[in-house]
Amino acid sequence: MGKKEKLHDAGGKKIMHPADAVRRQAKKRKLEKTKQERADNFERKMLGTSPEEVEHEIRALKFDHERKRAAKIEVTKHAQDRLTRLEANYKRLKETIQEKHEKRQAEPKSSLHVNFEELKIHRKSSIFYHPINNPYGAPPNGQTLMYRHPDGSVKREPPPLAQEDAAPAAPGFDGPNPDSGSGESEDGASDKGEAKEEDDDDDDDDDMEPMLPSSLPGGMQIGSA
């Protein structure tokens, strides 16, 4: 196979073939387009987060870099570039990120949106609450979270805390009978005292706030609603 012919100008200087020049320009334009698309995607993702999330990631990256340097572990160029890009873009877009975050917070929430801070307080009033199968009271995938109210109604809004704390007495229970239990033995009283302590322990365990899962029943990830 013969060698590729080289072109020279009138002065004898080597010049590029016109077809090679066209291909090189096309490759350059493609690289510039890809670079701009990546920058736009990075900026779009930053505008979709809150200032606290961006600041948290910057602090986490700095801490990780310091830890690696202290342990004499090399920090990759990708990690250094990401930290530099985060800091530069956050400094430039901080006000815009804050404005868009406040605007998203002010928008009406979807009927499937779950406020987990609210749910942690009113979890026992959720219609989906179960002390064993669903101790956090989260709704299954695709269903709206509803709360039971003391008047027997079911509403989207949680019940008032004052009414929720005042739990109604069990049906058919009118309180202790003053005429009974006067002649019990000491052993019987001791057994009742131990049983009462166990019941108190069970109540304390039931009142403890359960750990929220990473996903809802049905496979929906938290925060995807």
pLDDT tens digits along 76-128: 999 999 999 999 999 999 999 999 988 887 877 666 777 777 887 888 889 89
Helices 18-47/77-106 angle, 10° precision: 50
Alpha helix positions (H), 123-171: 161-165
Element (H, E) at 112: none
Higher-confidence residue of 208 and 27: namely 27
Confidence check: pLDDT of 75 > 90 = yes
pLDDT tens digits along 148-167: 899 989 888 888 875 444 44
Q: How far apart are CA 107 and CA 109, in angstroms?
A: 6
Which are the contacts of 56, defined by CB distance < 8 A and separation ≥ 6? none
CA-based end-to-end distance of the chain = 63
